[in-house]
Each structure stands twice: as C-alpha cells, then as structure tokens.
Structure 1
C-alpha cells in the first residue's frame, strides 16, 4: 500500500482530493491531511510517506518553504494548485507532477501510476542493496549494516546503547549521543544483534554493558550509563536478573 499525505489550507480541496484517491486509486491510503503547513512538517518527518500532495499558496508558510524545512525528502512530490506560475519551481524541487485544481480524475490516475512505477523501482533498488549488504563487512562479528535514507552505515554493536521500537521502525541510540532511525521492527533487530543485547521490554532492546543500575521501585527500570531510564517489563525481570548475574 502507498502512503500519502495531503497538505492544503483549503479543507474542501483536501476533501475533494481524498475522495478522488479513495474512488480511483485503491492502492493509496491517505494516512493524514493538514491545513497547517507547520504541523505537516513534523508529520512528514515522522510518518515518512511515499508521496505528498502539496498546495503552494498557503498562509504562514508556502509549499516551497515547507519543503525547505523538511528533514525527510524521500517521497514523490505532487504539486496541487490553482495557479500555473509555480511549475518551474515545482520541477526544480523534483516534483513528479503538477496538478491544477480542480483536479481531474484521469490526470490523478496518471500521476498515481508514476508513483507506483517509482515505488517499484525503489523496491528493486532496496533488494539489490540488501543483497550487497549481506556480503558486506557488516557480516563481520560485532558489526551491523544499517540501511538509512540514501545510504548504508556500518556500526560496531558495542557503540549501540539501546534500541527503541517506533511502530514499524526502530530508533537506535549510540554512545556518541546520536540517534538513527531504521525501517526495521525491534524484533528484526533483536534477531541480528549479538549476545550483549537483552529485550527488557516490548519497546526496548538494551546493550547490557551500558546498564548502571537495576531499580526495583517505580517500575522496575534500568538506569543506563548515559543517564537514560529504560522500563523493564515484569515478565522480563527474572530472566534479565538471571542474565546479568545474581548480586553478592
């Protein structure tokens, strides 16, 4: 399924486009809509949609300013506007299409086919990258290959403090106080890390070398060397303590 976000300051324009998508493009799901471009920035960075239908003429911030404030840009951009004079700038921003309002159903179908074609090409590229990664230095003991947007990084497992579940994604926290997000569920990461990691909670996978304290009250929870508190599920408490060793 293709995930889409619609950004337009006119609520009726959003409703009309959403209706067109739902009735003519059944493999696209509109995961969110926004009339406020500032709110849309956070959502696009977090949800990382496959495509964004973006209006240009909006109060407070226009569509091009929104694009310049994004961290995540790995999506197909479709400009939806009542004006023709933004076309050159739209294609400088690598828009795959420019739809004039009111949006015609046939034009939308053509646009969506372009989105499908791009998604299929990207999927093939990801398969190739995964195949290469399977033979890469990450197969060395103690190393991981993490596929990020536009690149693959190779990290030592000993540099990872903990991993946190975020829906279908996982956040990885490193000892250098940096964080990366990967499109892998925590269960998938758990299957590839070494024996230094323990699943202390449904949402947390911890490198035990960074555990400073096990706190029995208020949880219980772990205090890590970087000051982070990590909850420990009651079902994991006994096995975690057995794994860490009995206190003297």
Structure 2
C-alpha cells in the first residue's frame, strides 16, 4: 500500500505518480482539499482521505482494500465510482463572487488566465470574470476537456482552432484569441489534441 499527498515541495503527488513507469501497489491519496478527488481516482487511487486523516477512516480504507482484493470486486466498484464522478463533473461550476454565486457551464469557458492569487475566466460570449482562486484550483475543478497549456493559462481543448509553431508557440481559439503554449507543455498538449 502506498500513501501520497498532493501538494509537496518539489512536485505535486500527481506529477510524481506520472513519473513512475511501473506501479504495483494500492494507492491512497491524502489531501487537505476535496477538489482533487476526480484526479486521484483517475490515478487509480483506491481511496481519497481528507487531512487531517481520521484514524477510523484510515483503518476502514485499508480494511476495505484488503477485503475487496480478496473478493476481486474492487475494479467494478471503482469503475462505478469513477462514472459517478464523471457525471458530477459534467454539471455546472458554482463559483462564489462578491455577494453572489455565479453558475458556469464548463463549455462556456474558453480559457483561464492566472493573475497571481486571482484567475481571469474568459467566456465564449466575450465576457470575462475575475475570481479569487489560483489557476491550479481552476485546472483541478475543470478537469477533463481542459489543459494547462502554459504556467499562466488553462484552455478548453474543444475551443482550440489552430496550433501555431512560429514566432513562439501559441494557440488560436475559436474566437480568434491567441493563448501562449510553453515548450514543456507542447508534447502533452499534442497528445491530448490527437488522442
């Protein structure tokens, strides 16, 4: 059994897991934040425990993994759980703003741009809203269908019209907006667009 936190000094837990070529262990993810759960189950985590970890929850998670391995039903339960998470992922985002909550359909978002501790969310209709959440939080909330193309940008994959590889790398979105692509993100972006 392997336990991993999400936020760590050198790299986050997901980056560390992606570096492993072979994983022959049951994974339990721990985090102080509940918004990483979908990503954790995509990494084939057997459980997701919120910190501070309650000892009863930990014991229950370990016993459930042992029991399910013996019964060989763990795979079906995880598929069902992941399907439920994906269904919930399709719903609108509820984002608190000053004195109100804005409900946003993911497909209305073209891209998000980092502005320090704030994030600008740009919409297909040309509108823009600023939220007091970091870009990493938006990246995790948006999940499937969005990609971190640059340290400062997350773009909706279905909104990408062109990839331009001259005078610096950038994307042209369906509304004509240019979004930069970092050199380190290009390979994975191409895989996401072509796969």
- TM class by shorter-chain length? 0.5 to 0.7
Residue 168 (structure 2) pairs with residue 219 (structure 1): yes
Which among 144, 165, 178 is matched to residue 229 of structure 1?
178
The CA deviation at 1:140 is 6.1
**Alpha carbons 1:145, 1:154 under 8 Å: kept:** yes
Match of 1:201?
Answer: 150
Match of 2:190?
Answer: 241
Which among 84, 105, 109 is matched to residue 156 of structure 1?
105
The CA deviation at 1:189 is 0.7
Which is bigger in relative contact order (C-alpha 8 A, separation at least 6)? 2
Q: TM-score, normalised by structure 2?
A: 0.53
**Larger radius of gyration between Structure 1 and Structure 2:** 1
Deviations 1:17-61 (A, max 9, x none): xxxxxxxxxxxxxxxxxxxxxxxxxxxxxxxxxxxxxxxxxxxxx
Which among 164, 168, 171 is matched to residue 120 of structure 2?
171
How many residues are aligned here?
Answer: 108
The CA deviation at 1:149 is 1.1
The CA deviation at 1:207 is 0.3
CA RMSD in angstroms comes to 1.3
The CA deviation at 1:170 is 0.1
Residue 84 (structure 2) pairs with residue 147 (structure 1): no
**Alpha carbons 1:157, 1:194 under 8 Å: kept:** no
Classify the secondary structure of the residue corresponding to 1:227: coil
User: How many Å separate the matches in 2 of 1:214 and 1:196?
Assistant: 17
Over 6 Å off, 4+ runs: none
